[in-house]
Amino acid sequence: MLNAGLFYVVVPEARGIVGKREPEAFRVPLCAGYFDDEINERFGLIYQVPYATPLPPLQSRISRAKELVTSLHFLHAVNWLHKGLRDQSILVLTQNGSPDYSQPFISGFEYSRPDETDITTTAAPDTWAVYAHPDYQRFDKKTYRKTFDIYSLGIILLEIALWKSAEEILGFGQPSVPTGEKDKSPEMKDEFQGKKVYSKDSLQDLKNIRSRLLIDEPSLLEQVRATMRSRYHDTVRSCIGGLEYFNLPTEADETSPDIATQLQQAYLRLVVDILRSIRV
């Protein structure tokens, strides 16, 4: 434990700043609580992280989604797999000092390869696992396929709709309550109570993301419908659902020229065309 004298000096001061909002000019985040970590002999403050960027207009988010789904359509049309789609692989340029969310660029091709059965490349790191299809998780990885890229894009479309990270939307990476926690704000208590926290260290939690979105927790995608309306919701659902949502057999061989053509046409019809039909 911390030096007792120091502890009794610091704790009253910490209690005084929990939940207290400082003037914006201070550029200090809201202190939500504090803890005494007896095992590691340290004392810490818990801050609420402010939003990194304001919510862009709906039109900008729709345009961003349209450009991304179209880009993947052309990438797959030349029989190329990205294999690393995630939030950090989407680049946004600035115009006059402001980010232009409507004209994104896809990057991060370090793991990409042609879609051919006799070619393999290194798998993407597990740090991106929340974007990876359930069949492409850690030691359970199957041969990479186009629907895995489409699934990852579906997670990105989910982020665009709710303007939150996939980890936050899906309940991953939330801070656990440290040992010896002494106090926290009422807001933080409400956040932790009754809310399951998922771990990126749990293979089962990662593999369950798809079923949570499609079956077990439909309210997650219903938030997308409420925010972006039905057509956007349907495209996200199709991307995450994969072959069966494109009206193809779930065990279809995506390297087959016939199946590849049908998948490309279904993706164009059920994702690209539907998104491009949205007018804001």
- The gap from C-alpha 47 to its chain's centroid, in whole angstroms, comes to 22
Q: What is the pLDDT of residue 95?
A: 78
Same domain flag for 263 and 158: yes
**Range(s) of the domain holding residue 107:** 58-170+198-276
pLDDT tens digit sequence for 101-152:
888 889 888 888 887 765 665 666 678 899 999 998 877 677 889 999 999 9
Cβ neighbors of 78 (< 8 A, separation 6 or more) are none
**Predicted confidence (pLDDT) at residue 224 exceeds the cutoff of 90:** yes
Same domain flag for 99 and 219: yes
Q: What is the pLDDT of residue 137?
A: 85
Same domain flag for 8 and 73: no
* Number of domains composing the chain: 2
The end-to-end CA distance of the chain, in Å, is 57
Same domain flag for 45 and 94: no
Same domain flag for 63 and 33: no
Same domain flag for 21 and 86: no
- The gap from C-alpha 189 to its chain's centroid, in whole angstroms, comes to 24
Same domain flag for 147 and 180: no
Same domain flag for 117 and 237: yes
Question: Phi and psi at residue 94, in whole multiples of 5°?
Answer: -110, 145
Same domain flag for 162 and 239: yes
Helix (H, G, I), strand (E, B) or coil at 231: helix
What does DSSP assign to residue 128?
Answer: G
d(CA 280, CA 277): 10
Please state the rounded mean pLDDT for residues 235-259: 94
Q: What is the pLDDT of residue 140?
A: 65
d(CA 176, CA 197): 8
Same domain flag for 16 and 153: no
Q: Which residue has the higher pLDDT, 192 or 99?
A: 99
pLDDT tens digit sequence for 159-169:
999 999 999 99
Is the CA virtual torsion 90, 94, 95, 98 positive or negative?
A: positive
Same domain flag for 35 and 72: no
Q: What is the pLDDT of residue 143?
A: 85
pLDDT tens digit sequence for 27-44:
445 666 766 677 776 666
Is the CA virtual torsion 97, 98, 104, 106 positive or negative?
A: positive
pLDDT tens digit sequence for 187-210:
544 444 456 888 888 889 999 999
pLDDT tens digit sequence for 36-89:
677 776 666 565 655 456 788 999 999 999 999 999 999 999 899 999 999 999
